[in-house]
Amino acid sequence: MARIIDGKLVSQAVKDGVKEQVSLLNSKGVSVTLAVIIVGDDPASRIYVNNKKKACEATGIISREYALPADTSLEELLALIEKLNNDSEVNGILCQLPLPEGLDEKAVITAISPEKDVDAFNAVNTGHIMIGDYTFLPCTPAGITEMLDYYDIPVRGKHCVVIGRSNIVGKPMAMLLLKRDGTVTICHSKTENLADITRQADILVAAVGRAKFVSADMVKEGAVVIDVGMNRDADGKLCGDVDFEAVEKKASFITPVPGGVGPMTIATLMKNTVIAAKLQNGLL
Q: How far is CA 274 from CA 16, 44, 168, 206, 244, in A?
A: 12, 26, 21, 29, 34
Listed residue (143, 105, 145) closest to 123, CA to CA: 105
If one counts every other C-beta atom within 10 angstroms of the C-beta of residue 144, the result is: 27
Please tell me which residue in 96, 220, 227, 278 is annotated as part of the active site: 96
Q: For this structure, is 133 an active site residue?
A: no
* Residue 31 to residue 23: CA distance in whole angstroms: 9
Q: For this structure, is 96 an active site residue?
A: yes
* Residue 82 to residue 55: CA distance in whole angstroms: 25
If one counts every other C-beta atom within 10 angstroms of the C-beta of residue 19, the result is: 16
Are the beta carbons of 271 and 34 closer than 8 angstroms? no
Please tell me which residue in 21, 117, 119, 250 is annotated as part of the active site: 119
Q: Which helix (H) or strand (E) holds 63?
A: strand 62-68
Q: For this structure, is 12 an active site residue?
A: no
Please tell me which residue in 52, 171, 220, 250 is annotated as part of the active site: 52
Instruction: Indicate which residues carry an active-site annotation.
Output: 52, 96, 119
